[in-house]
Amino acid sequence: MKSGYSRAETERSSEYRKNSWIAPYAAQYRWRLIGAIALGTCAALCAVMLLFTSGYLISKSALRPENILMVYVPIVGIRAFGIFRAVFRYVERLAGHDAVLRVLADQRVKLYRILEPQALFLRSRMQTGDVLGALADDVERLQDIYLRTVFPAITALVIYGASVLAFGSVDPMFALWMALYMLFIVAALPAISLKITWRWRVQLKRENSKLYTRLTDGVLGLGDWIASGRAAAFVQWQEEDEDHADQIRRKLRRWSRWRDLIAQCVIGLMVVSVALWAGQAVSAAQLPAVMIAAFVLVLFPLTESLLPVNDALGHVPDYRESLDRLNKLEAPEENERQSNEEDQEKHIQASGFHNEHRSSTLVKSQPTDGDEAPDGRIRLRIPPKLRADISMEQLSYRYEAEGEYAVQDISLQLPQGKRLAILGRSGGGKSTLLKLIQGALSPSSGKVLINDLPVEMLGESVTEVVAVLNQSPHLFDTTVAGNLRIGRPDATDEEIRKVAAQVGLADLIESLPLGYQTPMLETGLRFSGGERQRIALARVLLRKTPVVIFDEPTVGLDPVTERELIRTMLDSLQGKTLIWVTHHLIGAEKMDEIVFVENGKIVMQGSHEQLLAREERYRRLLELDRPGWLGRQQHATLPPAVSK
């Protein structure tokens, strides 16, 4: 009994929440809403009477009355109905929008009061797109319940009842046939249409939401896509998803055209039926001949009032989706507990990276053995053990033809396996130098060679040689495994586990609810800064490129995490060429060569020991970066020049 009572209470609570966005406001503004419906009904009745009187006047005038006074009343009626129809329609729009905007304002206030207490925890539960969607779209969607569904539907039902009664006063059997025709238009056809399109509309709304999420996710992580050499793959996936959404829209438009055709065919049958009935009634002297045109013409405004019900019910799936999201905001704890497993499953299924078909397509689309692609550019398929020697010879670059050089006369030799640290102030030319190495910029003079080939000739293939780990790698809203596979889509589960162990994440990932299939959440909110960098490092390891660029990957991390991450990076990338851009000197002693870049030029160059021995500035920078470090060193371990 207790569990049954609890279940009943839960159902009542759930039903109350579903109605809390509609029922309270409908009750609060009921007289305004009723007034708007009454005005809309009067406008529709005026339109019906306008055509009815017009048909009568046309027929009466065709009989050439002896006196204009015999048709004066219909003339005045047409003028009155025409004027009042416009007046009622205008006032109905004014009253309807006034009532709906009042409801909308109250709903926005309610939504704000719901979100405000959750502000600190909102991003941990919801994606940015969901919150923005609730603020900008879902509440706006609820106003359509009144304007596009409630008002037209109630008006159509009133007109339907009034017309059946009017026909019944003339001929009950004829009224029955008209009632069946109009019932098909106002009830049967909308119900059939809703049943057919419900799944499509829900699917389209979800596809649009997924498109927004992926696009936002992709834009935030655009640098990682480009650095991975898979920007074209992202564009291809986005286009495929958009095509899928377009297919659903085409299905809806196609069915809408068929539905309208069916409705017009039924209206045509009504016109023929009324014409035949009126003709027979005139022959039997049950109806004046002037009423034939009046009864036929009255069908057009009458059916025009009934047809909007099709579109009115068609928006019901959209309202349902919006109400569900708003209810989740209103009762986050209960909804989150009930839908947690469903959300995880949805994230896994919606993963844009864990898709075998796409992965295989991407792999097949790349050239296989050979040096030249169809576009004429050199394609290098560099295995992990192949050398990728980098040479910079008198390298210079400036962004404007007459501007200052961002990089000037830089020459460096990086044979395979060398570790180079590039230090310098912001704006000194470090970022420009990295872009030149990656081929993103073409030198103004000098050249960058990889295996004796100018880097510009490699085109997009340079991403198969050089991998980049920057200071803020983007983690996509997919699974942990999906995020790792951005490094290499065809990586096996065993390879995924291996690189996770290399970067020290295996135990953490295996402790998650779904292991490697655990959703990362938007921008990787599930993980700390150091853990995100380790995941990005695992991507780099999966790519198996011979050259890795670190663009200040430890910025923003605490000292302990920074030291652990640096140790992991250096240990896991043995044998690879490392180019490390940094402001700090942590780990400098483990670099083969250190260069300082200022104003685009190299002002200091050498190994850690060489710079300690001959550069006072380097020693000062080292002391500033690691206070007391020099003092703690034993004089016996320092070069003679320093000991003295």
Of the listed ranges 114-128, 272-286, 514-528, 574-588, the one predicted with least confidence: 114-128
3-state secondary structure labels for all residues of 555-569: CCCCHHHHHHHHHHH
Range of the domain at 208: 18-330
H helix runs in 379-516, sequence order: 430-438, 480-484, 493-502, 506-510
Q: Please identify, among 330, 350, 373, the residue that sits at the C-terminal boundary of a domain.
A: 330
**9-18, 253-262, 505-514: which is most confident:** 253-262
Residue 590, domain member (yes or no): yes
> Given a cut of 60, is residue 615 above it in pLDDT?
yes
Residue 356 located in a structural domain: no
Q: Which two tokens stand for residue 420?
A: 């180079």
pLDDT digits 0-9 by tens, 337-350: 444 444 444 443 44
User: Does position 376 have pLDDT exceeding 50, yes or no?
Assistant: no
What is residue 133's predicted lDDT score, i.e. its pLDDT? 53
Per-residue pLDDT for 29 more than 50?
Answer: yes
CA distance between the termini of the chain:
90
What is the percent of the chain where pLDDT is above 70?
74
pLDDT of residue 214: 66
Q: Please give the Cα distance from 605 to 602 (Å, whole number).
A: 7
Q: Is there a domain that residue 355 lies in? A: no
If one counts the domains in the chain, the total is 2
Q: Rounded mean pLDDT of 596-621?
A: 85
More confident residue, 482 or 45: 45
- Greatest mean pLDDT among 219-233, 367-381, 399-413 lies in 399-413
pLDDT band at 127 (very low <50, low <70, confident <90, very high): low
Q: Residue 304 is encoded by which pair of tokens? A: 């025009």
Statement to judge: residues 202 and 64 lie in one domain: yes
In a domain, 253, yes or no: yes
Q: Is 416 inside any structural domain?
A: yes
Burial (CB count <10 Å: 0-12, 13-18, 19+), residue 574: exposed
Domain boundary among 330, 357, 381: 330
The vertex-598 CA angle with 597 and 599, nearest 5°, equals: 125
pLDDT beyond 70 at 410: yes
Same domain, 261 and 405: no
One domain for residues 36 and 153: yes
The answer to whether position 591 is within a domain reads yes
Which strand (E) or helix (H) includes residue 596?
strand 593-598
pTM for this predicted structure? 0.50
Shared domain for 321 and 458, answered yes or no, is no
Indicate the residue type of 332.
P
With respect to residue 364, please indicate whether it lies within any of the assigned structural domains. Answer: no
